[in-house]
Structure 1
């Protein structure tokens, strides 16, 4: 067993991190105090960061043994010297980064290092990144910073130049399927189909393999796009896709908001049906605002996942049109892909791919999701 077992297809990155963890024990060259982990969504940036933190805290004979107290505590998310900042909203706030920088000054209490992980560092605005700059430039002794982001360009040059870069690659579908079979006990055939449909995104592949609702959403989104022949069809399909994303976001986040409000009522001595006094309403409003921001983030993520599925669908159409001989991503939609490939030209398919990418950019730039998706769906008419 190793802390790196869940990193599918990342042999080169694992070798670098293992050498760095070994150097951290001996004090030899190879260990760096500031890291920038990059790679496309689903490549395992956060998993790699947690695994590296475990390897640094490992006390076993072999670095990253996965069995000692240090490894197990980090992997369980309960090691006192490993802290993770993850954004549940659209941006990481200045206050949360300042708090993390302040805690970074403390010396390790249980392990050999104090490890600070910032997931999705690309969600920091420039003023937020500047708060982090000095902490990364001159970290306290026995402190390690790990920033995770899709691309090095997603952070300021000043941050990038002070971190050691580690790039994770997209694993093959076969590697992801092997992980799902070994770790989650999923049927090999189902695991491979899910890994291909998720384009090797480990989290999405697991959801498709184990969650019937996730499979149903993907199928409805693809069939909705397949059925677009008129402008009316496009408007209906766009509304349905956005509604599914909203329903997914609400189902994911509503329970947490309700639990937080119930806990606050209990703390303040209020019964479930008791009217909130005016002097306490600000606390309940803060919970509601946070829940709304989380829902916005989850809705955008769900929409983006749906658009990525559409990109893969029309990528398959283009492969068939060009007779490229490459394996299709959506093996369960072969007949639909063939029909669309016969009804469109390759240049037209490329235009559609561009329109789907444009819709993703518009949504990330705060364009109303329904307007962006409607404009995209209209381009799918055939």
Structure 2
């Protein structure tokens, strides 16, 4: 772009309050010929102090078929692997490539879904113990915890989608039978509440709320 410089900041929704405050001056008065691009799933997931200083540009995801075909044709991915990665990516080619090229990511996703399934059958005392485990993860491997919350949120969004008889739009395409089972016994209000609770927990963690208390509220509140 000639004299222009473009800086892309991924996962802007994961900036905590301290990191966001460090950026405010730059966002208000960026250097000349400089464009800052902050990437986030949606406007509401970014702290208001950041969002209010940005011009919001909505980007539409690519069709799954195009993403999957690209993975197969350009990167040599297996068809089934490509289709799963394309669905899980939400139409983001870069993330789809990461999923297809890093098997450990898929393994962590599978583990996160297994943990969510176990959580649904736990009594309150075991749910509190699970919250303590997640709080330790927040200290030792914070990015992994945020990834887990993303998987959980996507799962409950898919439950709503399946309840609405739109299974073709589900992200977790390899979990459709289980999603159908859960959708048959959890009403839309409870599924929506689970999504809102996960989103609230993520915001609280960004805002440095006591992680154990925030995660206890999460594990006790999920269906």
Bin of the TM-score, shorter chain as denominator length: 0.7 to 0.9
Alignment of 1:43-82 (within 5 A): 56=1
CA contact (8 A) 2:156 2:195 kept: yes
Change (3 A) 1:371 1:199: farther
Change (3 A) 1:378 1:203: farther
C-alpha RMSD of matched pairs (Å): 3.2
Q: Which runs of 5 or more structure 2 residues have no equivalent in the other structure?
A: none
Q: What's the counterpart of residue 119 of structure 1?
A: 9
1:193 is displaced (CA, Å) by 0.4
Change (3 A) 1:131 1:339: closer
User: Which of structures 1 and 2 has the larger relative contact order (alpha carbons within 8 angstroms, sep 6+)?
Assistant: 2
1:334 is displaced (CA, Å) by 2.2
CA contact (8 A) 2:138 2:211 kept: no
Change (3 A) 1:190 1:307: same
1:236 is displaced (CA, Å) by 4.3
1:234-293 CA-to-partner distances (Å, cap 9, x unmatched) read: 23444455556666x4xxxxxxxxxxxxxxxxxxxxxxxxxxxxxxxxxxxxxxxxxxxx
CA contact (8 A) 2:9 2:37 kept: yes
User: What is the aligned counterpart of 1:148 among 15, 37, 40?
Assistant: 37
> SS in structure 2 opposite 1:148?
strand
The alignment status of 1:354 with 2:193, answered yes or no, reads no
Q: What's the counterpart of residue 79 of structure 2?
A: 188
Change (3 A) 1:208 1:119: closer
1:155 is displaced (CA, Å) by 4.7
1:327-350 CA-to-partner distances (Å, cap 9, x unmatched) read: 321122223222222222222212
1:205 is displaced (CA, Å) by 2.9
CA contact (8 A) 2:149 2:202 kept: yes
The alignment status of 1:303 with 2:145, answered yes or no, reads yes
User: What is the aligned counterpart of 2:112 among 207, 221, 225?
Assistant: 221
Change (3 A) 1:206 1:126: same
> SS in structure 2 opposite 1:213?
helix
Alignment of 1:100-115 (within 5 A): 112-113=2-3, 115=5
CA contact (8 A) 1:121 1:148 kept: no
User: What is the aligned counterpart of 1:130 among 22, 25, 33?
Assistant: 25
> SS in structure 1 opposite 2:66?
helix
Larger Rg: 1
> SS in structure 1 opposite 2:71?
helix
1:211 is displaced (CA, Å) by 2.5
Q: Give the paired residue count.
A: 209
Q: What's the counterpart of residue 59 of structure 2?
A: 168
> SS in structure 2 opposite 1:170?
coil
1:128-186 CA-to-partner distances (Å, cap 9, x unmatched) read: 433564454xx2xxxx31211134973554x65xxxx7543222333332333344321
Q: What's the counterpart of residue 177 of structure 2?
A: 335
The CA distance in 2 between the partners of 1:342 and 1:155, in whole Å, is 38
TM-score normalised according to structure 1 size: 0.47
Q: Which runs of 5 or more structure 1 residues have no equivalent in the other structure?
A: 1-55, 57-111, 250-298
CA contact (8 A) 2:154 2:171 kept: yes
**Higher helix proportion, which one?**
2
The CA distance in 2 between the partners of 1:368 and 1:120, in whole Å, is 25
The CA distance in 1 between the partners of 2:138 and 2:63, in whole Å, is 27
TM-score normalised according to structure 2 size: 0.75
The CA distance in 2 between the partners of 1:329 and 1:169, in whole Å, is 16
